[in-house]
Amino acid sequence: MKTPAILMLALALSGCATGQRPSVEWIAVRDTDQFTDKSTCGVTVGSFYTGGSVFTASNHYYPYIESVNGELRVGIRSGGRFKIPVGDVQLRIDQNPA
């Protein structure tokens, strides 16, 4: 009697073992500073992708890349509707130092 239950449980959990991760799509983000009226454009990722819209989750951090005056900036931004400070962040890309 336990064998069918174990078999059903194994089949139900086998979908978790596929190892496939959802594809990450980089999106363009345009922003205008409310004090200086300076516009920036960069790219970032999100957590949820639905038919042309991308959403981020509160209390999660996302990579962000932008070009300002010919200088490439790489960093982290918080997600969600209300942004929270990220503090000091160290990034390590490939074998380069942090």
In this predicted structure, the answer to whether residue 9 has a pLDDT above a threshold of 50 is no
Provide the H-helix boundaries in the chain. Answer: 2-13
Residue range 72-96: mean pLDDT, rounded = 87
CA distance 46 to 63: 9
Residue range 74-94: mean pLDDT, rounded = 87
pTM of structure: 0.60
CA distance 72 to 42: 10
pLDDT tens-digit map of 29-76: 888 888 998 888 888 888 888 877 788 899 899 988 988 777 888 888
Task: Identify the residue with better confidence: 8 or 77.
Answer: 77
